[in-house]
Structure 1
Amino acid sequence: MEAGGLRFRRQRQVLFIFIFGGVSLAVSGFGRYSVTEETERGSFVVNLAKDLGIAEGELATRGARVVSDDNKQHLLLDSQTGDLLTNEKLDREKLCGSTEPCMLYFQILVDNPFQIYRAELRIRDINDHSPVFQDKEMVLKILENTAEGTIFRLERAQDSDGGLNGIQKYTINPSSFFHIKITDSDEGVIYPELVLDKALDWEEQQELRLTLTALDGGSPPRSGTTTIRIVVVDVNDNAPQFAEAQYETQVREDTPIGSLIVKVSAGDVDSGVYAEVSYSFFDASEDIRTTFQINPFSGEIVLKALLDYELIKSYKINIQAIDGGGLSARCTVSVEVLDTNDNPPELIMSSLSNYIEENSPETVLAVFRIRDRDSGENGKMVCHIQEDLPFLLKPSVENFYVLMTEGALDREMTAEYNVTITVTDLGSPRLKTQHNITIWVSDVNDNAPTFTQTSYTLFVRENNSPALHMGSVSATDRDSGSNSQVTYSLLPPQDPHLPLASLVSINADNGHLFALRSLDYEALRAFEFRVGATDAGSPALSSEALVRVEVVDENDNSPFVLYPLQNGSAPCTELVPRAAEAGYLVTKVVAVDRDSGQNAWLSYQLLKATEPGLFSVWAHNGEVRTARLLSERDAAKHKLVVLVKDNGEPPSSASVTLHVLLVDGFSQPYLPLPEVAPDEAQADSLTVYLVIALASVSSLFLFSVLLFVLVRLCRRNRAALVGRYPVPQRHFPDHLVDVSGTGTLSHSYQYEVCLTGGSGTNEFKFLKPIIPNLSVQDSGRNMGESTNFRNSFGFNIQ
């Protein structure tokens, strides 16, 4: 009956799974195997690989394992050979008690793909227990007038073995008064009964002793004995009578110890000692004796130990009432234990994987089973996890559940998940069990390094020392471990003429950039290159950023004087007529500076003069002019030292030496520089300006004609005057000076600078641009431009 109830509960559990499960995984058929109890550990049960039709090596690769219902490892699976072995000595009596047949239910779980094979193992009994009587001596009081054929039921012996190994018969030692009769009960248990063959006579024999032997059906059989002491009692006419032959009661399993279960009552119509009734258990098992206690005088049955519905659901107690004359009566008390929700659900983990790679597809993380030892609504369960997690909980058969990922995970978003599996029963009050699982997402290299800036601009002063730390680039990688270790490198420049390898180096570990050599602003003002960042993943991912290096100018170039050119040859000599007015343009010092910005802003000043106050130098354009009218008392030769200084910090300078020769009758002196018209003149009408302009042009034309005639007439006189002074009578070498656009001149020109003496024309050539590869027409045009440039300084040109 108990086995039938177990089957009914299992059927109901399977039905509940299919109703509430939703999704189930592949499940195989039902396997039945058997093994004899007390078999040594490691004994062969069956070859599961052959029985399930799976190759031997496939069991190991697919992670096959055995899961028992009671979560104990009674069996062991050799995944290499496929053999199912015993993991311990199996004691049928310990595992199943008196239940026959004794079954162990288990499942075989196989991954990839996930499958469940259900199976049962029957434990075959062996005769390893002898029959045992509860009492070493049984006492029977029999009235002397008891009729022949009267039957006295005896307490049976207990045998832990079952089936044929259980008790099969009882015997007593030979006696002329009694023999043993065997009776089968409704539960299939045999009871010994003592049958009176011959009337007793108290006067002849007041007491008899018999030996009762119980034999089981084992081979060889085992036996147990007890003594029956028969006390012959004088005549007692009436036996006790119970008020009810059958008592029934229901008790909650949480009933406290000491509570009254039921009270039985028996009466005896006799008087005196024969009417005194005492109560006791009759043929009670050890469970009854340890759980209940009866008051021998009142017949009250109270609870001696706590009840457990999950262990024993009902009790059948036999009560015996004996009067003072030895007569007895029996009744039965049926106690039904009522279930309460006193067992929380259990979660039994079968397999668990705490690590999963990010970007993995749907993956099984855990397989577990839930159970509740309660029954009815108290044993129904629901299982769930948090809703905000990327995991699914899929039910399977036999209360199995599978925890799996919903899709690919991203470690950079969440690297660790705490999953709480909650199992709640439907009892009142509801009980729940929570199981926490930590899932770690392992990294894959799915993120390339990212620079903190898309482009970097670095400023380096020229003339830096080699190995100067110019700056740094930095990139981060959202991955972890080796996938986030970033190394830096220089990428090939887009300009093939840029010698990047000799200019810059980079520290591969930290992105520090170093200048390999001293930079020169005048040679290289700025350059660009790209830097790459590569992680250590497999495959490696990389990114790049643009770096621009701006070379900052320093005042490392002194001004360079283009005119008058200072060299080892004879110095240039400037001729100034003594009739020159104040402000007469003697010459112009032309200088450039290869630096830029304020480092190339030049200023001029007269550092030293033979006669201070006679000449002055304009600070911004380097023009050397007379500061006053010349007189006959002024020396003929003058030496001027002009200082050219830039605006750098600290400033750099150069000096040039000028030789000035004052001559008589050299040429019509320059008129002084026209004064700036007063502000009032700007308000004159346009007609006045036109008249003045026309008069000026006419005057200049007439002046030019007269000047040409005078020069032709004074050629010989002028040559004689020059011969009186030690002026070198040789040609000066020509000098070609290349001036870049980095200084005060906006274009690159070559200038021819020289002074000729003793020539027929006495020509003074000043900053004549020399441009190669010009045609004849271009040369002529340039010569004209040169002539105009000379005329701007007021020299007579023939």
Structure 2
Amino acid sequence: METGRKLALRQRQVLFFFFLLRLSLASARELKRYSVVEEREGRSFITNLVNDLGLGPLELSKRGAKVISKGNKLHLQLDQETGDLLLTEKVDREELCGHTEPCLLRFQVLLDNPLDIIQAELEVTDINDHSPVFLDKEIQLKISESSLPGTTFPLKNAQDMDVGQNGIDNYIVSSNSYFHVLTRKRSDGKKYPELVLDTSLDREEEAELGLILTAKDGGSPPRSGTTKVHIEVLDINDNAPQFEQLYYRVQVPEDSPVGFLIVTVSATDKDIGVNGEISYSLFQASDDITKTFSIHPLTGELRLKEQLDFEKTQSYEVNVEARDAGTFSGKCTILTQVMDVNDHAPEIILSAFTNPIPENLPETMVAVFSVSDLDSGENGKIKCSMQDDLPFFLKPSGENFYTLLTHKALDRESRAEYNITITVTDLGTPRLTTQHTITVQVSDINDNAPAFTQTSYTLFVQENNSPALHIGTISATDSDSGSNAHITYSLLSTHNPQLALASLISINANNGQLFALRALDYESLQTFQFHVGATDQGSPALSSQALVHIIVLDANDNAPFVLYPLQNASAPCTELLPRAAEPGYLVTKVVAVDQDSGQNAWLSFQLLKATEPGMFSVWAHNGEVRTSRLLSERDAPKHRLVLLVKDNGDPPCSASVTLHVLLVDGFSQPYLPLPEVAHDPVQDEDMLTLYLVIALASVSSLFLLSVLLFVGVSLCRRARAASLGGFSVPEGHFPGHLVDVSGAGTLSQSYQYEVCLKGNSETGEFKFLKPILPNFQDYPLGPELGENSNCRNDWELGIQLK
């Protein structure tokens, strides 16, 4: 009947537990409790968290669900694909919890994005897998023959590792004529046997008794353990020792040293002699008691054998027996309460850690960790902090959990690594502190474009350079790292269709070195510019550009060219010189040009040969040929002059020009009959002057008419060029009727001349020059130089023949 009531009560307790469990599940998922029977094999199923937490089928794996146990000792395993919570190994309730009931394993389920921490408990229920065991194989009792029936004799209890109904239920003794056993329960719930005397003993009839004491537990099926009880019947000793107090209450700090005196108990015996001599001993002491305490048998001083640990055991119940030399003994109980001291520093357990952290992302989770302290009260309260000068902050995320977050977007270029020291301090006295340093790397993203060392570059290259000549290097830097900082260089397309950049310049994509692909010709191209780009290999790629100016330096590779007098072997130029010319008379002017520039185009003139030396002189700077003296009738009528035109280059280049001067007494005169009068020399001189004036007027009128005709033709050509969409000069050879004159020679500006000859182009005489393109220096001149000759006389000039 009593067993039925216990079973019904147990069923009601189980129903009530499940009712509370369902109620807790319905209220905000504050605590989940599961149960498992001990000794279950590993990989045993406990529950399905997907169903319990109301999550989607794939939400556990997406949110990186983890099971975290105290002390990081994992007895549980989570299958993220199915959501099943499994045991990782066989669990032994006695090993985990000892006699603690219920046996609870606390754990947390951690979910990321968003962060959620579910508190849960796993109760390991007991099975009857241990039999009761007596510490002593034989119990010795000495009982006086004067003991009255009904006298009780406490016996040492058996120990059972199981708990609850699987623990010790009752004691029985083997059949005998004197004793029976009663099962008693102490204040801590443990049961112990008392031997009850049924009839008086007679030492003379039976001096010793042997009994078998059996301890049974309440399991199904029950288990039992036995020990022998040896009873020695003594002579009469009618006074038992008596303690001054039946209960002693003491408090002992857990850091008390070994040998610390806890309390001194005292008992007295009214007997005298041997029957009055008292000895003290620990009574019914468990292994923990005997390892922790010792009592002096004569003085009754209770001392520590080993240091206490409040976190392991908070209190002890020590039973002390005072026994006299006879059969009597007295009992007292010492209730020892262990006082906590702050002897455990806080602990930090890192649950999740993200490293490296991408830059430019605000409020990123870096780590999740829990803090704990084995102490209690104020000694177990913890506060958590970190450095103030870092862009991170701590956010409480549940009971004793914290999340480390970035306070703002990080910048790897400013700082690529952070050492974060997390400090946890308890509130005990003295305060204990634990520090944990987390090193966080900042990963790079492509947020910096390459930057050139200069916004523009000016490079110089000497004309007639060798192909593939290295002419300069551009350089850019990138504050990013890795592939985000790997720069490639390229030439950007130009908007000038006349500049074939791809045939002129190439760039090394890896180091930015610029090379001239072919020989450059200053006379064709003095300067040009283009843009270069620097692009990194990030995603997306970033780029920048810089302007490059290329200036072609002139080399003295062109000899002077004589525009007037035009040199023609079949029809040499002949100048007419009146014999009456005064010294310094301008015979002609040699006009020459040089396609080079600067001092390479500074021309000087000198007279090399003359038929009659000293008659003519040439001005070195302007090429004017003048008479040096008065002419006479004895001077030869025809003279040949050879002039040298030389530039100022290093080495200089030169050209020669040949002039033929014909001395005449006067220009062509019409025949006029004269009266037969006496010849008057003065009148002849006046007539010659008249003829000269008439000749000069005729020549001037003809020159003016030619100029007007030239202006009209030029205007017509310009109108026609404007109607065709403007003038453009293609790259390559000049038109055949044009001659380029550099502005650095004897002429003050750059001109193009159209040369007109009378008669055919081979034998005609030079007539006049006229400029048609005053700003022609802006356009390329002549063909590209295919050789590195220092001076060239093979001019390619455009001459229009009339």
TM over 0.5: yes
Q: Residue 769 of structure 1 aligns with which residue?
A: 769
- Write the letter of the residue equivalent to 2:366: L
In 1, Cα distance between equivalents of 2:430 and 2:263: 28
Cα distance per residue 1:366-393 (max 9 Å; x no partner) = 2211111111111111011211222221
In structure 2, do the counterparts of structure 1 residues 755 and 188 end up closer, same or farther at CA, with 3 Å as the change threshold?
Answer: closer
Q: SS of 1:288's equivalent?
A: helix
Q: Residue 375 of structure 2 aligns with which residue?
A: 374
Q: Residue 516 of structure 1 aligns with which residue?
A: 517
Q: Residue 196 of structure 2 aligns with which residue?
A: 195
In 2, Cα distance between equivalents of 1:255 and 1:441: 50
Q: CA contact under 8 A between 2:426 and 2:432: conserved in structure 1?
A: yes
In 2, Cα distance between equivalents of 1:737 and 1:607: 30
In 2, Cα distance between equivalents of 1:398 and 1:432: 19
Q: How many residues align?
A: 689
- Write the letter of the residue equivalent to 2:495: Q
- Return the offset for 1:454: 1.6
Cα distance per residue 1:280-307 (max 9 Å; x no partner) = 1000111111111111122112211111
In 2, Cα distance between equivalents of 1:50 and 1:705: 138
Q: Residue 752 of structure 2 aligns with which residue?
A: 748
In 1, Cα distance between equivalents of 2:52 and 2:695: 139
- Write the letter of the residue equivalent to 1:536: Q
- Return the offset for 1:607: 2.1
- Return the offset for 1:587: 2.3
In structure 2, do the counterparts of structure 1 residues 352 and 499 end up closer, same or farther at CA, with 3 Å as the change threshold?
Answer: same
Q: CA contact under 8 A between 1:177 and 1:198: conserved in structure 2?
A: yes
Q: How does 1:34-73 map to 2 (within 5 A)?
A: 34-73=35-74
Q: CA contact under 8 A between 2:571 and 2:765: conserved in structure 1?
A: no
In 2, Cα distance between equivalents of 1:583 and 1:196: 172
- Write the letter of the residue equivalent to 1:709: L
Q: How does 1:630-641 map to 2 (within 5 A)?
A: 630-631=631-632, 634-641=635-642
In 2, Cα distance between equivalents of 1:55 and 1:737: 87
In 2, Cα distance between equivalents of 1:106 and 1:639: 121
Q: Residue 496 of structure 2 aligns with which residue?
A: 495
In structure 2, do the counterparts of structure 1 residues 652 and 206 end up closer, same or farther at CA, with 3 Å as the change threshold?
Answer: same
Q: How does 1:425-504 map to 2 (within 5 A)?
A: 425-504=426-505
Q: Residue 348 of structure 2 aligns with which residue?
A: 347
Q: Residue 359 of structure 1 aligns with which residue?
A: 360
In 2, Cα distance between equivalents of 1:99 and 1:187: 12
Q: Residue 659 of structure 2 aligns with which residue?
A: 658
In 2, Cα distance between equivalents of 1:417 and 1:286: 52
Q: CA contact under 8 A between 2:562 and 2:590: conserved in structure 1?
A: yes
Q: How does 1:223-622 map to 2 (within 5 A)?
A: 223-622=224-623
In 1, Cα distance between equivalents of 2:692 and 2:244: 174
- Write the letter of the residue equivalent to 1:319: V
- Return the offset for 1:186: 2.8
In 2, Cα distance between equivalents of 1:186 and 1:703: 172
Q: CA contact under 8 A between 2:622 and 2:746: conserved in structure 1?
A: no
In 1, Cα distance between equivalents of 2:269 and 2:331: 13
In 1, Cα distance between equivalents of 2:664 and 2:544: 77
- Return the offset for 1:574: 3.0
Q: CA contact under 8 A between 2:491 and 2:506: conserved in structure 1?
A: yes
Q: SS of 2:415's equivalent?
A: coil
Q: Which runs of 5 or more structure 2 residues have no equivalent in the other structure? A: 1-26, 670-682, 697-735, 774-802
In structure 2, do the counterparts of structure 1 residues 736 and 167 end up closer, same or farther at CA, with 3 Å as the change threshold?
Answer: closer
Q: SS of 1:133's equivalent?
A: coil
In structure 2, do the counterparts of structure 1 residues 134 and 140 end up closer, same or farther at CA, with 3 Å as the change threshold?
Answer: same
* Structure 2 residue corresponding to 1:709, chosen from 686, 690, 707: 690
Q: CA contact under 8 A between 1:494 and 1:529: conserved in structure 2?
A: no
Q: Residue 730 of structure 1 aligns with which residue?
A: none
In 2, Cα distance between equivalents of 1:74 and 1:704: 142
Q: CA contact under 8 A between 1:564 and 1:753: conserved in structure 2?
A: no
Q: CA contact under 8 A between 1:563 and 1:753: conserved in structure 2?
A: no
- Write the letter of the residue equivalent to 2:545: E
- Return the offset for 1:46: 0.9
In 1, Cα distance between equivalents of 2:60 and 2:69: 18
- Return the offset for 1:237: 2.7
In structure 2, do the counterparts of structure 1 residues 373 and 704 end up closer, same or farther at CA, with 3 Å as the change threshold?
Answer: farther
Q: CA contact under 8 A between 2:61 and 2:80: conserved in structure 1?
A: yes
Give the TM-score normalised by the residue count of structure 1. 0.82
- Return the offset for 1:84: 0.8
- Return the offset for 1:640: 2.3
Q: Residue 9 of structure 1 aligns with which residue?
A: none
Cα distance per residue 1:33-85 (max 9 Å; x no partner) = 11100100000111111121112322111111111234211111111111111
Cα distance per residue 1:66-123 (max 9 Å; x no partner) = 1123421111111111111111111111111111111112111112222122221111
Q: Residue 794 of structure 2 aligns with which residue?
A: none
Q: SS of 2:123's equivalent?
A: strand
In 2, Cα distance between equivalents of 1:632 and 1:366: 118
- Return the offset for 1:412: 2.0
In 2, Cα distance between equivalents of 1:298 and 1:736: 140
Q: SS of 1:483's equivalent?
A: helix
- Write the letter of the residue equivalent to 1:493: T
- Write the letter of the residue equivalent to 1:768: F
In structure 2, do the counterparts of structure 1 residues 740 and 665 end up closer, same or farther at CA, with 3 Å as the change threshold?
Answer: closer
Q: CA contact under 8 A between 2:381 and 2:426: conserved in structure 1?
A: yes
Cα distance per residue 1:181-235 (max 9 Å; x no partner) = 1112233222200011121222233222211111112222222111211111112
Q: Residue 723 of structure 2 aligns with which residue?
A: none
- Return the offset for 1:163: 0.8
In structure 2, do the counterparts of structure 1 residues 397 and 549 end up closer, same or farther at CA, with 3 Å as the change threshold?
Answer: same
Cα distance per residue 1:327-356 (max 9 Å; x no partner) = 111111122111111100011122221222
Q: CA contact under 8 A between 1:393 and 1:403: conserved in structure 2?
A: yes
Q: SS of 2:95's equivalent?
A: helix
In 2, Cα distance between equivalents of 1:46 and 1:348: 26
In 2, Cα distance between equivalents of 1:324 and 1:306: 33
Q: SS of 1:378's equivalent?
A: helix
Q: CA contact under 8 A between 1:565 and 1:753: conserved in structure 2?
A: no
In 2, Cα distance between equivalents of 1:196 and 1:712: 181
Q: Which runs of 5 or more structure 1 residues have no equivalent in the other structure? A: 1-25, 669-701, 716-734, 757-763, 774-798
Cα distance per residue 1:730-761 (max 9 Å; x no partner) = xxxxx9873434443323333446799xxxxx
In 2, Cα distance between equivalents of 1:714 and 1:271: 183
